[in-house]
């Protein structure tokens, strides 16, 4: 029993030491991120503050969960120790067996290790992989047009919010709910233009009128993500071209038949964990280049 207690104390001490080391490493990483952002770039400083808060919160939660797992394992160890002692007294001649609790702990430890590795890989990818490369390319494309990204929340309404922002610059006060309602109404009244492009993901068949009706209802009543079809409808509603800038493809313009200056959106494939996202743009006020190092 004393050996079990000693092992538990040793395990806890090792865990605390590792947590201290990880916190120091995180602080060093955060400092490096801060050094890479110009002090006068308020927008990126704000983004950096949000990213730092997220990293610190994730580490705090991870450390808390590891301590809770250790305490749970400690209780199970005590129970297992008593059970083993009794078993040894009664069945000394039988070979040792791995307890179910031990198997559960080993399985839990393996899953936790795998989860931590996935998190680490994802974070590395976020900082230096596809998301960073996409941001750098877009920054160059926009800078050539004296523009920069204006961040839009990732809440399912991003496309409509980006258009709302663009319209605001043209003294048009259409809101996200109004844009969604007009989009659904237009698509329903021109179903023949949109229905052929919508298919049931389960069957691969073209939407039935009932399914199309539900699709349009979701545009109005939910945070359903907007895409190419909705942009086409909105270009007709607003009688304005809409230009979509991308990192790895030429710009897409819908509503080219209209002579007005286009509303400009930025389409990002790797912006967030869920992937696709729309942002707005604004005039470039800071010439500092993007840096993800």
Is 172 part of the annotated catalytic residue set? no
Q: Is 92 helix (H, G, I), strand (E, B) or coil?
A: coil
Calculate the CA dihedral of residues 226, 232, 234, 237 and round it to 10 degrees.
-160
Whole-number pLDDT of residue 272: 57
Going from the N-terminus, what domains does the chain have, and what CATH number goes with each? 2-128 (no CATH), 132-283 (3.90.70.80)
Neighbours of 176 (CB within 10 A): 17
Rounded to whole angstroms, what are the CA distances from 61 to 2, 22, 64, 65, 225? 31, 13, 5, 6, 30
Mean pLDDT of the chain: 82
What are the phi and psi torsion angles at 209 (to 5°)? -55, -35
Candidates 154, 167, 186, 129; CA nearest to 263 is 167
Q: What number of H helices and E strands is found in the chain?
A: 9, 5
pLDDT score of 110 more than 80 = yes
* DSSP-assigned beta bridge partners for residue 272: 275
Candidates 68, 86, 26; CA nearest to 51 is 26
Whole-number pLDDT of residue 207: 95
pLDDT band at 80 (very low <50, low <70, confident <90, very high): low
Is 158 part of the annotated catalytic residue set? yes
pLDDT tens digits along 27-62:
877 777 777 767 777 777 778 788 878 888 888 888
Catalytic position from the list 157, 236, 270, 277: 277
Task: Return d(Cα 254, Cα 50) in angstroms, integer.
Answer: 34
Q: Is 28 helix (H, G, I), strand (E, B) or coil?
A: helix
pTM: 0.55
Question: What one-character-per-residue DSSP string does 245-276 give?
Answer: E-SSS--EEE-TTS-SPPEEEEEEEEEETTEE
pLDDT tens digits along 185-221:
999 999 999 999 999 888 889 999 999 999 999 999 9
Candidates 180, 254, 262, 267; CA nearest to 215 is 180
Q: Is 4 helix (H, G, I), strand (E, B) or coil?
A: helix
Higher pLDDT, 259 or 25: 259
Strand order in the sheet with 147-150: 147-150, 275-283, 263-272, 242-245, 252-254
Calculate the CA dihedral of residues 153, 156, 157, 163 and round it to 10 degrees.
80
Catalytic position from the list 80, 157, 158, 270: 158
pLDDT score of 75 more than 80 = no
Both structure tokens of 61: 């939660």
Q: Lowest mean pLDDT: which of 196-210, 245-259, 260-274?
A: 260-274
Is 248 part of the annotated catalytic residue set? no
What does the radius of gyration of the chain's CA atoms come to, in whole angstroms?
28
Contact 132, 125 (CB under 8 A): no
* DSSP-assigned beta bridge partners for residue 199: 206
């Amino acid at each position: 029993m004393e050996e079990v207690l000693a092992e538990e104390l040793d395990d806890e001490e090792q865990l605390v030491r590792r947590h201290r080391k990880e916190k120091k490493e995180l602080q060093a990483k955060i400092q490096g991120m801060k050094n890479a952002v110009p002090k006068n770039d308020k927008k990126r400083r704000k983004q950096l503050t949000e990213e730092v808060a997220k990293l610190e919160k994730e580490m705090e939660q991870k450390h808390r969960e590891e301590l809770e797992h250790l305490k749970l394992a400690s209780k199970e160890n005590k129970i297992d120790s008593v059970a083993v002692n009794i078993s040894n007294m009664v069945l000394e001649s039988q070979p040792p067996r791995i307890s179910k609790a031990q198997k559960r702990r080993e399985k839990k430890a393996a899953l936790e290790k795998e989860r931590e590795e996935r998190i680490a890989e994802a974070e590395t990818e976020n900082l230096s992989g596809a998301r960073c490369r996409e941001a750098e390319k877009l920054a160059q494309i926009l800078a050539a047009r004296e523009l920069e990204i204006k961040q839009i929340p990732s809440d399912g309404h991003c496309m409509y919010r980006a258009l709302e922002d663009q319209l605001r610059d043209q003294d048009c006060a259409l809101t996200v709910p109004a844009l969604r309602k007009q989009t659904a109404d237009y698509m329903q009244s021109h179903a023949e233009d949109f229905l052929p492009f919508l298919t049931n993901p389960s069957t691969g068949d073209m939407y039935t009128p009932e399914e199309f009706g539900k699709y349009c209802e979701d545009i109005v009543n939910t945070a359903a993500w907007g895409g190419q079809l909705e942009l086409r409808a909105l270009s007709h509603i607003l009688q304005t071209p809409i230009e979509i800038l991308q990192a790895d493809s030429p710009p897409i313009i819908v509503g080219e038949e209209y002579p007005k200056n286009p509303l400009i959106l930025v389409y990002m494939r790797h912006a967030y964990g869920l992937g696709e996202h729309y942002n707005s743009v604004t005039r470039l006020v800071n010439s500092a280049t993007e840096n993800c190092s």
